[in-house]
A and B are shown apart, each in its own frame.
Chain A
Amino acid sequence: MSEFDESADTPNREDLRLAEYVLGTLDGEERREVEGWMDADPRIAARVETWQERFAQLANQVAPADAPAYIWARILARIEPERVALESTAPATRPGLWQSLTLWRWLGAGSLAVAALVVIIVLGVMPTQRQHGAPGTRSGTELAATIRTDNGQAAFTASIDASGTRMTVIPTAAWKHSGKVPELWLIAPGSKTPEPLGVIAQDHATVMTIPAALRGQARSQALLAISVEPPGGSPTGLPTGPVIAKGAVNSI
Protein backbone atom coordinates (compact mmCIF):
# COMPACT_ATOMS: atom_id res chain seq x y z
CA MET A 1 0.00 0.00 0.00
CA SER A 2 1.15 3.51 -0.73
CA GLU A 3 2.23 6.01 1.90
CA PHE A 4 -0.56 7.87 3.59
CA ASP A 5 -1.48 11.12 1.91
CA GLU A 6 -2.73 13.56 4.53
CA SER A 7 -4.46 15.75 2.00
CA ALA A 8 -6.91 13.15 0.78
CA ASP A 9 -8.76 10.07 1.82
CA THR A 10 -11.18 11.36 4.46
CA PRO A 11 -12.42 7.98 5.75
CA ASN A 12 -8.84 6.96 6.31
CA ARG A 13 -8.11 10.18 8.17
CA GLU A 14 -11.08 9.58 10.40
CA ASP A 15 -9.94 6.05 11.13
CA LEU A 16 -6.47 7.31 12.02
CA ARG A 17 -8.08 9.75 14.43
CA LEU A 18 -9.71 6.76 16.14
CA ALA A 19 -6.32 5.06 16.21
CA GLU A 20 -4.80 8.12 17.85
CA TYR A 21 -7.58 8.02 20.42
CA VAL A 22 -6.73 4.41 21.28
CA LEU A 23 -3.02 5.12 21.17
CA GLY A 24 -3.54 7.90 23.70
CA THR A 25 -2.00 10.90 21.96
CA LEU A 26 -5.09 13.12 21.89
CA ASP A 27 -5.66 15.88 24.42
CA GLY A 28 -8.73 16.00 26.62
CA GLU A 29 -10.90 17.98 24.24
CA GLU A 30 -10.02 15.79 21.28
CA ARG A 31 -10.74 12.69 23.33
CA ARG A 32 -14.22 13.96 24.23
CA GLU A 33 -14.83 14.66 20.56
CA VAL A 34 -14.01 11.09 19.54
CA GLU A 35 -16.13 9.75 22.39
CA GLY A 36 -18.99 11.86 21.07
CA TRP A 37 -18.63 10.19 17.67
CA MET A 38 -18.61 6.79 19.34
CA ASP A 39 -21.79 7.53 21.28
CA ALA A 40 -23.51 8.77 18.15
CA ASP A 41 -22.47 5.96 15.83
CA PRO A 42 -21.99 2.33 16.83
CA ARG A 43 -19.96 1.75 13.67
CA ILE A 44 -17.38 4.21 14.92
CA ALA A 45 -17.42 2.56 18.35
CA ALA A 46 -16.80 -0.75 16.57
CA ARG A 47 -13.83 0.69 14.70
CA VAL A 48 -12.39 1.93 17.97
CA GLU A 49 -12.75 -1.60 19.33
CA THR A 50 -10.90 -2.91 16.31
CA TRP A 51 -7.99 -0.60 17.09
CA GLN A 52 -8.09 -1.61 20.75
CA GLU A 53 -7.79 -5.23 19.74
CA ARG A 54 -4.98 -4.42 17.33
CA PHE A 55 -3.00 -2.86 20.16
CA ALA A 56 -3.82 -5.63 22.64
CA GLN A 57 -0.41 -7.18 22.12
CA LEU A 58 1.34 -4.02 23.29
CA ALA A 59 -0.89 -3.84 26.36
CA ASN A 60 0.01 -7.42 27.15
CA GLN A 61 3.67 -6.51 27.27
CA VAL A 62 3.07 -4.30 30.30
CA ALA A 63 4.37 -6.04 33.41
CA PRO A 64 1.56 -6.94 35.84
CA ALA A 65 1.72 -5.48 39.35
CA ASP A 66 -0.18 -6.73 42.38
CA ALA A 67 -2.56 -4.08 43.62
CA PRO A 68 -2.50 -3.36 47.36
CA ALA A 69 -5.13 -5.41 49.15
CA TYR A 70 -7.05 -2.40 50.40
CA ILE A 71 -8.00 -1.52 46.82
CA TRP A 72 -10.44 -4.40 46.72
CA ALA A 73 -11.94 -3.34 50.03
CA ARG A 74 -12.44 0.17 48.69
CA ILE A 75 -14.03 -1.13 45.49
CA LEU A 76 -16.48 -3.18 47.54
CA ALA A 77 -17.22 -0.20 49.72
CA ARG A 78 -18.09 1.78 46.63
CA ILE A 79 -20.36 -0.79 45.02
CA GLU A 80 -22.21 -1.78 48.16
CA PRO A 81 -24.25 1.39 48.63
CA GLU A 82 -26.02 0.31 45.47
CA ARG A 83 -27.13 -2.79 47.24
CA VAL A 84 -28.61 -0.69 49.99
CA ALA A 85 -30.58 1.18 47.39
CA LEU A 86 -31.81 -2.10 45.95
CA GLU A 87 -32.78 -3.44 49.36
CA SER A 88 -36.48 -2.75 49.22
CA THR A 89 -37.24 -4.01 52.71
CA ALA A 90 -34.91 -1.53 54.40
CA PRO A 91 -36.56 1.75 55.26
CA ALA A 92 -34.74 4.47 53.41
CA THR A 93 -34.41 6.70 56.43
CA ARG A 94 -32.56 4.15 58.51
CA PRO A 95 -28.80 4.05 58.01
CA GLY A 96 -28.01 0.57 56.79
CA LEU A 97 -25.21 -1.72 57.71
CA TRP A 98 -23.76 -1.41 54.30
CA GLN A 99 -23.39 2.31 54.55
CA SER A 100 -21.87 1.99 57.98
CA LEU A 101 -19.47 -0.68 56.86
CA THR A 102 -18.56 1.45 53.91
CA LEU A 103 -17.59 4.27 56.21
CA TRP A 104 -15.69 1.95 58.52
CA ARG A 105 -13.76 0.35 55.77
CA TRP A 106 -12.83 3.73 54.40
CA LEU A 107 -11.63 4.81 57.81
CA GLY A 108 -9.69 1.62 58.21
CA ALA A 109 -8.30 1.57 54.73
CA GLY A 110 -7.20 5.16 54.87
CA SER A 111 -5.12 4.63 57.95
CA LEU A 112 -3.26 1.65 56.67
CA ALA A 113 -1.93 2.93 53.43
CA VAL A 114 1.60 1.96 54.39
CA ALA A 115 0.72 -1.30 56.03
CA ALA A 116 0.55 -4.61 54.30
CA LEU A 117 -2.98 -5.29 55.41
CA VAL A 118 -4.91 -7.74 53.43
CA VAL A 119 -8.60 -7.11 53.53
CA ILE A 120 -10.22 -9.82 51.53
CA ILE A 121 -13.84 -9.53 52.22
CA VAL A 122 -15.90 -12.58 51.83
CA LEU A 123 -19.39 -11.37 52.37
CA GLY A 124 -21.03 -13.75 49.93
CA VAL A 125 -23.59 -14.94 52.42
CA MET A 126 -25.55 -11.80 53.14
CA PRO A 127 -25.87 -10.33 49.67
CA THR A 128 -26.81 -13.73 48.27
CA GLN A 129 -29.52 -14.11 50.82
CA ARG A 130 -30.77 -10.64 50.07
CA GLN A 131 -30.87 -11.27 46.40
CA HIS A 132 -32.66 -14.54 46.67
CA GLY A 133 -34.80 -13.84 49.70
CA ALA A 134 -38.51 -13.60 49.14
CA PRO A 135 -39.95 -10.10 49.28
CA GLY A 136 -40.67 -9.05 52.80
CA THR A 137 -38.35 -11.53 54.48
CA ARG A 138 -35.49 -10.13 56.48
CA SER A 139 -32.72 -12.62 56.08
CA GLY A 140 -29.86 -10.11 56.02
CA THR A 141 -27.85 -8.57 58.79
CA GLU A 142 -29.52 -7.33 61.90
CA LEU A 143 -26.67 -6.60 64.31
CA ALA A 144 -23.30 -4.99 63.84
CA ALA A 145 -20.37 -3.71 65.85
CA THR A 146 -17.31 -1.63 65.20
CA ILE A 147 -14.49 -2.94 67.33
CA ARG A 148 -12.23 -0.02 68.10
CA THR A 149 -8.89 0.46 69.76
CA ASP A 150 -8.63 2.84 72.72
CA ASN A 151 -7.64 5.66 70.42
CA GLY A 152 -10.86 5.20 68.46
CA GLN A 153 -9.47 3.52 65.38
CA ALA A 154 -11.69 0.83 63.91
CA ALA A 155 -9.75 -2.44 64.12
CA PHE A 156 -12.50 -4.86 63.05
CA THR A 157 -16.12 -4.69 62.10
CA ALA A 158 -18.52 -7.46 62.95
CA SER A 159 -21.95 -8.23 61.66
CA ILE A 160 -24.42 -10.86 62.79
CA ASP A 161 -27.11 -12.20 60.53
CA ALA A 162 -30.79 -12.04 61.33
CA SER A 163 -30.90 -15.60 62.64
CA GLY A 164 -28.22 -14.71 65.19
CA THR A 165 -26.12 -17.70 64.22
CA ARG A 166 -23.56 -16.37 61.82
CA MET A 167 -21.07 -13.60 62.39
CA THR A 168 -18.72 -12.03 59.86
CA VAL A 169 -15.68 -10.21 61.20
CA ILE A 170 -13.64 -8.02 58.92
CA PRO A 171 -10.27 -6.47 59.76
CA THR A 172 -10.14 -2.78 58.98
CA ALA A 173 -6.63 -1.96 60.13
CA ALA A 174 -3.23 -3.60 60.03
CA TRP A 175 -2.49 -6.20 62.70
CA LYS A 176 0.68 -5.01 64.41
CA HIS A 177 1.29 -7.91 66.78
CA SER A 178 3.50 -10.20 64.77
CA GLY A 179 3.70 -13.74 66.02
CA LYS A 180 0.39 -13.26 67.83
CA VAL A 181 -3.19 -13.69 66.69
CA PRO A 182 -6.45 -11.85 67.38
CA GLU A 183 -9.04 -13.70 69.41
CA LEU A 184 -12.63 -12.54 69.59
CA TRP A 185 -14.62 -12.48 72.82
CA LEU A 186 -18.26 -11.89 73.60
CA ILE A 187 -19.28 -10.16 76.81
CA ALA A 188 -23.02 -10.50 77.33
CA PRO A 189 -25.05 -7.46 78.44
CA GLY A 190 -24.63 -7.09 82.18
CA SER A 191 -21.88 -9.69 82.34
CA LYS A 192 -18.21 -9.17 83.00
CA THR A 193 -16.98 -12.52 81.79
CA PRO A 194 -15.69 -12.78 78.25
CA GLU A 195 -16.77 -15.86 76.38
CA PRO A 196 -14.39 -17.04 73.67
CA LEU A 197 -15.62 -16.88 70.08
CA GLY A 198 -12.32 -18.07 68.70
CA VAL A 199 -9.28 -16.89 66.82
CA ILE A 200 -10.08 -14.77 63.79
CA ALA A 201 -8.07 -13.94 60.72
CA GLN A 202 -6.07 -10.73 60.88
CA ASP A 203 -5.87 -10.26 57.14
CA HIS A 204 -9.20 -11.31 55.73
CA ALA A 205 -12.81 -11.77 56.75
CA THR A 206 -13.76 -14.55 59.13
CA VAL A 207 -17.22 -16.02 58.90
CA MET A 208 -18.07 -17.98 62.02
CA THR A 209 -21.02 -19.79 63.47
CA ILE A 210 -21.82 -18.44 66.91
CA PRO A 211 -21.83 -21.34 69.41
CA ALA A 212 -25.39 -22.32 70.30
CA ALA A 213 -24.81 -21.54 73.96
CA LEU A 214 -23.89 -17.95 73.16
CA ARG A 215 -26.54 -17.15 70.57
CA GLY A 216 -28.92 -15.61 73.06
CA GLN A 217 -26.18 -13.35 74.34
CA ALA A 218 -24.94 -12.08 71.02
CA ARG A 219 -27.53 -9.35 71.01
CA SER A 220 -27.78 -5.62 71.20
CA GLN A 221 -25.65 -4.10 73.97
CA ALA A 222 -23.34 -7.11 74.13
CA LEU A 223 -19.66 -6.25 73.83
CA LEU A 224 -17.20 -7.74 71.38
CA ALA A 225 -13.53 -7.57 72.29
CA ILE A 226 -10.26 -8.55 70.67
CA SER A 227 -7.29 -9.81 72.66
CA VAL A 228 -3.76 -10.56 71.56
CA GLU A 229 -3.12 -14.26 71.91
CA PRO A 230 -0.51 -16.85 71.01
CA PRO A 231 -1.13 -18.76 67.77
CA GLY A 232 -4.04 -21.10 68.30
CA GLY A 233 -5.70 -18.78 70.76
CA SER A 234 -5.92 -18.45 74.50
CA PRO A 235 -5.13 -21.75 76.19
CA THR A 236 -7.11 -20.83 79.29
CA GLY A 237 -10.55 -19.87 77.98
CA LEU A 238 -9.97 -16.30 79.14
CA PRO A 239 -7.90 -13.58 77.49
CA THR A 240 -4.21 -14.05 78.29
CA GLY A 241 -2.92 -11.07 76.30
CA PRO A 242 -4.00 -7.43 76.31
CA VAL A 243 -7.49 -6.56 75.10
CA ILE A 244 -6.68 -4.13 72.34
CA ALA A 245 -10.10 -3.27 70.94
CA LYS A 246 -13.76 -3.50 71.82
CA GLY A 247 -17.12 -2.41 70.58
CA ALA A 248 -20.80 -2.70 71.43
CA VAL A 249 -23.22 -4.69 69.32
CA ASN A 250 -26.04 -2.57 67.97
CA SER A 251 -29.08 -3.34 65.96
CA ILE A 252 -29.21 -1.68 62.62
Chain B
Amino acid sequence: MKPSTDTYSREVLTTTLHAVAGGDKQAFEQLYQMTSAKLFGICLGLLPQRSDAEDVLQDVYVTVWQKAAQFREGRATAMTWLISIARNKSIDRLRARGTLQRSSPIDLAGPLSDPAPEQPEVVEAEQESQRLDGCMNTLDPKQRAAIRVAFMEGVTHDALASRAGVPLGTMKSWIRRGLHRLKACLER
Protein backbone atom coordinates (compact mmCIF):
# COMPACT_ATOMS: atom_id res chain seq x y z
CA MET B 1 0.00 0.00 0.00
CA LYS B 2 1.16 3.46 -0.81
CA PRO B 3 2.10 5.30 2.36
CA SER B 4 -0.28 8.07 3.20
CA THR B 5 0.78 11.56 4.10
CA ASP B 6 0.19 10.70 7.69
CA THR B 7 3.18 8.42 7.82
CA TYR B 8 5.63 11.17 6.90
CA SER B 9 7.15 12.99 9.75
CA ARG B 10 7.26 16.71 10.07
CA GLU B 11 11.00 16.58 9.72
CA VAL B 12 10.96 14.67 6.42
CA LEU B 13 8.42 17.06 4.91
CA THR B 14 10.37 20.10 6.07
CA THR B 15 13.63 18.77 4.66
CA THR B 16 11.98 17.87 1.38
CA LEU B 17 10.34 21.26 1.07
CA HIS B 18 13.67 22.96 1.69
CA ALA B 19 15.21 20.86 -1.09
CA VAL B 20 12.38 21.92 -3.40
CA ALA B 21 13.20 25.51 -2.53
CA GLY B 22 16.69 24.82 -3.83
CA GLY B 23 15.29 23.73 -7.18
CA ASP B 24 15.63 19.99 -6.60
CA LYS B 25 13.11 18.42 -8.95
CA GLN B 26 13.49 14.95 -7.50
CA ALA B 27 12.59 16.32 -4.11
CA PHE B 28 9.63 18.02 -5.72
CA GLU B 29 8.42 14.71 -7.09
CA GLN B 30 8.90 13.12 -3.68
CA LEU B 31 6.94 15.91 -2.08
CA TYR B 32 4.16 15.36 -4.61
CA GLN B 33 4.13 11.64 -3.86
CA MET B 34 3.99 12.29 -0.15
CA THR B 35 1.36 15.00 -0.10
CA SER B 36 -0.76 15.07 -3.25
CA ALA B 37 -3.41 12.61 -2.04
CA LYS B 38 -4.02 14.69 1.06
CA LEU B 39 -4.13 17.96 -0.85
CA PHE B 40 -6.34 16.52 -3.58
CA GLY B 41 -8.76 15.31 -0.89
CA ILE B 42 -8.87 18.84 0.47
CA CYS B 43 -9.50 20.36 -2.98
CA LEU B 44 -12.22 17.79 -3.69
CA GLY B 45 -13.87 18.53 -0.38
CA LEU B 46 -14.01 22.25 -1.10
CA LEU B 47 -14.80 22.20 -4.81
CA PRO B 48 -18.01 20.52 -6.00
CA GLN B 49 -16.63 20.11 -9.51
CA ARG B 50 -13.89 17.55 -9.85
CA SER B 51 -12.36 19.32 -12.84
CA ASP B 52 -11.92 22.42 -10.68
CA ALA B 53 -10.20 20.35 -8.00
CA GLU B 54 -7.82 18.93 -10.60
CA ASP B 55 -7.01 22.40 -11.96
CA VAL B 56 -6.46 23.80 -8.51
CA LEU B 57 -4.22 20.91 -7.48
CA GLN B 58 -1.97 21.74 -10.44
CA ASP B 59 -1.90 25.38 -9.44
CA VAL B 60 -1.05 24.39 -5.88
CA TYR B 61 2.06 22.45 -6.87
CA VAL B 62 3.19 25.03 -9.41
CA THR B 63 2.95 27.57 -6.58
CA VAL B 64 4.82 25.25 -4.23
CA TRP B 65 7.60 24.90 -6.80
CA GLN B 66 7.83 28.65 -7.22
CA LYS B 67 7.39 29.69 -3.61
CA ALA B 68 8.93 26.88 -1.58
CA ALA B 69 11.67 29.28 -0.50
CA GLN B 70 9.07 31.39 1.26
CA PHE B 71 8.26 28.60 3.69
CA ARG B 72 9.70 29.25 7.13
CA GLU B 73 9.09 26.71 9.74
CA GLY B 74 7.62 28.60 12.60
CA ARG B 75 4.06 28.63 13.72
CA ALA B 76 2.89 26.46 10.86
CA THR B 77 4.47 23.17 9.80
CA ALA B 78 5.35 22.23 6.24
CA MET B 79 2.14 20.23 5.92
CA THR B 80 0.05 23.10 7.23
CA TRP B 81 1.78 25.42 4.78
CA LEU B 82 0.88 23.10 1.90
CA ILE B 83 -2.67 22.61 3.15
CA SER B 84 -3.14 26.36 3.41
CA ILE B 85 -2.09 26.88 -0.19
CA ALA B 86 -4.52 24.17 -1.29
CA ARG B 87 -7.33 25.61 0.81
CA ASN B 88 -6.77 29.20 -0.25
CA LYS B 89 -6.65 28.36 -3.93
CA SER B 90 -9.72 26.15 -3.61
CA ILE B 91 -11.68 28.81 -1.75
CA ASP B 92 -10.69 31.46 -4.30
CA ARG B 93 -11.85 29.16 -7.09
CA LEU B 94 -15.06 28.55 -5.21
CA ARG B 95 -15.67 32.30 -4.88
CA ALA B 96 -14.94 32.82 -8.56
CA ARG B 97 -17.55 30.17 -9.34
CA GLY B 98 -20.14 32.08 -7.37
CA THR B 99 -23.42 30.26 -7.61
CA LEU B 100 -21.98 26.80 -7.97
CA GLN B 101 -21.55 26.42 -4.24
CA ARG B 102 -23.12 23.55 -2.45
CA SER B 103 -26.62 24.21 -1.23
CA SER B 104 -27.49 21.25 0.93
CA PRO B 105 -29.08 22.26 4.23
CA ILE B 106 -26.89 22.22 7.29
CA ASP B 107 -28.15 20.23 10.21
CA LEU B 108 -27.19 22.30 13.18
CA ALA B 109 -28.50 19.75 15.62
CA GLY B 110 -25.55 17.68 14.45
CA PRO B 111 -23.77 15.08 16.48
CA LEU B 112 -22.87 16.23 19.95
CA SER B 113 -19.22 15.57 19.46
CA ASP B 114 -17.02 15.40 16.43
CA PRO B 115 -16.76 12.02 14.83
CA ALA B 116 -13.59 10.12 15.58
CA PRO B 117 -10.89 10.68 12.97
CA GLU B 118 -11.10 8.03 10.26
CA GLN B 119 -7.44 7.28 10.21
CA PRO B 120 -4.26 7.60 12.18
CA GLU B 121 -3.33 11.21 12.39
CA VAL B 122 -0.17 12.92 11.36
CA VAL B 123 2.60 12.31 13.80
CA GLU B 124 3.71 15.89 13.53
CA ALA B 125 2.33 18.41 15.95
CA GLU B 126 0.11 15.73 17.33
CA GLN B 127 -0.39 17.11 20.76
CA GLU B 128 -1.16 20.58 19.50
CA SER B 129 -3.58 19.49 16.85
CA GLN B 130 -5.39 16.92 18.96
CA ARG B 131 -6.27 19.66 21.33
CA LEU B 132 -8.52 21.10 18.65
CA ASP B 133 -10.84 18.12 18.90
CA GLY B 134 -11.17 18.58 22.61
CA CYS B 135 -11.78 22.29 22.28
CA MET B 136 -14.29 21.85 19.46
CA ASN B 137 -16.27 19.70 21.83
CA THR B 138 -16.55 22.51 24.34
CA LEU B 139 -18.48 24.61 21.82
CA ASP B 140 -22.20 24.98 21.59
CA PRO B 141 -23.36 22.36 19.04
CA LYS B 142 -24.59 25.04 16.63
CA GLN B 143 -21.28 26.88 16.78
CA ARG B 144 -19.39 23.66 16.31
CA ALA B 145 -21.49 22.54 13.35
CA ALA B 146 -21.24 25.93 11.66
CA ILE B 147 -17.45 26.06 12.09
CA ARG B 148 -17.00 22.54 10.91
CA VAL B 149 -19.10 22.97 7.77
CA ALA B 150 -17.46 26.33 7.06
CA PHE B 151 -14.00 24.80 7.26
CA MET B 152 -14.77 21.67 5.30
CA GLU B 153 -16.74 23.36 2.51
CA GLY B 154 -15.29 26.86 2.48
CA VAL B 155 -18.68 28.55 2.30
CA THR B 156 -19.37 32.20 3.06
CA HIS B 157 -21.26 33.49 6.08
CA ASP B 158 -24.10 34.30 3.72
CA ALA B 159 -24.35 30.83 2.26
CA LEU B 160 -24.03 29.23 5.70
CA ALA B 161 -26.86 31.38 7.02
CA SER B 162 -29.21 30.56 4.20
CA ARG B 163 -28.37 26.87 4.35
CA ALA B 164 -28.94 26.79 8.09
CA GLY B 165 -32.09 28.87 7.75
CA VAL B 166 -30.95 31.59 10.15
CA PRO B 167 -30.34 35.32 9.64
CA LEU B 168 -26.86 36.35 8.49
CA GLY B 169 -26.19 38.21 11.75
CA THR B 170 -27.01 35.11 13.75
CA MET B 171 -24.64 32.96 11.71
CA LYS B 172 -21.83 35.51 11.97
CA SER B 173 -22.32 35.69 15.68
CA TRP B 174 -22.31 31.90 16.12
CA ILE B 175 -19.08 31.62 14.23
CA ARG B 176 -17.36 34.51 15.97
CA ARG B 177 -18.37 33.29 19.38
CA GLY B 178 -17.32 29.79 18.44
CA LEU B 179 -13.93 30.97 17.20
CA HIS B 180 -13.46 33.11 20.28
CA ARG B 181 -14.12 30.19 22.58
CA LEU B 182 -11.96 27.93 20.49
CA LYS B 183 -9.07 30.33 20.75
CA ALA B 184 -9.51 30.71 24.50
CA CYS B 185 -9.58 26.94 24.92
CA LEU B 186 -6.53 26.37 22.69
CA GLU B 187 -4.52 29.04 24.47
CA ARG B 188 -5.17 27.55 27.84
Q: Is the CB of A62 within 8 A of B45?
A: yes
Chain A residues packing against B (C-beta within 8 Å) = 1, 3-4, 6, 12, 15-16, 19-20, 22-28, 31, 46, 49-50, 52-68, 71-72, 74-75, 78-79, 123-124, 127, 131
Taking the closest CB of chain A, its distance from the CB of B74, in whole angstroms, is 7
Chain B residues with CB under 8 A of A67 = 36-37, 40, 54, 57
Q: Is the CB of A23 within 8 A of B40?
A: no
Q: Is the CB of B76 within 8 A of A53?
A: yes
Taking the closest CB of chain A, its distance from the CB of B11, in whole angstroms, is 16
Q: Is the CB of A62 within 8 A of B148?
A: no
Q: Report how far A53 CA is from B184 CA in the complex, Å.
A: 15
Q: Is the CB of A75 within 8 A of B23?
A: no
Taking the closest CB of chain B, its distance from the CB of A77, in whole angstroms, is 9
Chain B residues with CB under 8 A of A131 = 23
Q: Is the CB of B5 within 8 A of A64?
A: yes
Q: Is the CB of A16 within 8 A of B180?
A: yes
Chain A residues with CB under 8 A of B77 = 53, 56
CB within 8 A of B4: which of A50, A55, A61, A64?
A64
Taking the closest CB of chain B, its distance from the CB of A62, in whole angstroms, is 5
Q: List 26 A-B contacts (CB under 8 A).
A: A4-B177, A4-B181, A6-B176, A20-B157, A20-B179, A23-B150, A24-B91, A24-B153, A25-B175, A26-B157, A31-B92, A49-B76, A50-B75, A50-B76, A52-B75, A52-B81, A57-B130, A57-B132, A58-B152, A60-B6, A62-B41, A64-B37, A64-B41, A67-B37, A71-B40, A79-B28
Q: Is the CB of A61 within 8 A of B156?
A: no
Q: Report how far A211 CA is from B26 CA in the complex, Å.
A: 27
Q: Is the interface of A mostly helix, strand, loop or mixed?
A: helix
Q: Tally the A-B contacts, defined by beta carbons under 8 Å.
A: 168
Chain B residues with CB under 8 A of A65 = 37, 40-41, 44
CB within 8 A of B125: which of A22, A56, A63, A72?
A56
CB within 8 A of A4: which of B25, B153, B176?
B176
Chain A residues with CB under 8 A of B129 = 53, 56-57, 60
Chain A residues with CB under 8 A of B38 = 60, 62, 64
Q: Is the CB of B80 within 8 A of A57?
A: no
Known: A58-B132, A62-B41. Contact between A16 and B179, CB under 8 A?
A: yes
B122 to chain A: closest residue by CB: A60
Q: Report how far A14 CA is from B182 CA in the complex, Å.
A: 15
Q: Is the CB of A25 within 8 A of B156?
A: yes
Q: Is the CB of A31 within 8 A of B58?
A: no
Known: A60-B117, A65-B37, A67-B54. Contact between A54 and B4, CB under 8 A?
A: no
Query: Beyond A67-B36, A75-B61: 18 further Cβ-contacts under 8 Å?
Result: A12-B180, A19-B183, A24-B154, A52-B75, A52-B80, A52-B83, A54-B183, A56-B76, A56-B128, A57-B130, A57-B133, A58-B132, A58-B151, A64-B41, A67-B40, A74-B58, A75-B58, A131-B23
